[in-house]
Amino acid sequence: MIIGIDLAGNEDKPSGFAVIDNKLNTKTFLVYNDKELIKTTLENKPKLITIDAPLGLPKGRCCLDYNCKCVKYGYTRIGEKIMLKSGIRLFPCGFAGMKKLTLRGIKLKNYFKSKGFRVIETFPGSAQDLLNMPRKGKDHTLLQKALIKYGFKNIKKNITDHELDAITSALVGKLYLENNYLAFGIKEEEQII
The pTM score is: 0.94
pLDDT score of 90: 87
pLDDT score of 193: 96
Show pLDDT as tens, one digit a residue, over the chain (193 residues): 999 999 999 999 999 999 999 999 999 999 999 999 999 999 999 999 999 999 999 999 999 998 999 999 999 999 999 999 998 888 999 888 899 999 999 999 999 999 999 999 999 999 998 899 988 877 789 999 999 999 999 999 999 999 999 999 999 999 999 999 999 999 999 999 9
Question: Could you give the CA distance from residue 171 to residue 9 in angstroms, rounded to a whole number?
Answer: 22
pLDDT score of 89: 84
What is the distance, to the nearest Å, from the Cα of residue 30 to the centroid of all Cα atoms in its chain? Answer: 14
Q: What is the DSSP string of the chain?
A: -EEEEE--SSTTS-EEEEEE-TT-BEEEEEE-SHHHHHHHHHHH--SEEEEES-----TT-S---TTSGGGGG-S--HHHHHHHHTT-----TTSGGGHHHHHHHHHHHHHHHHTT--EEE--HHHHHHHTT---SSS-THHHHHHHHHHT-B---TT--HHHHHHHHHHHHHHHHHTT----BS-GGG--B-
* HSE-CB of 13 using CA atoms within 13 angstroms: 10
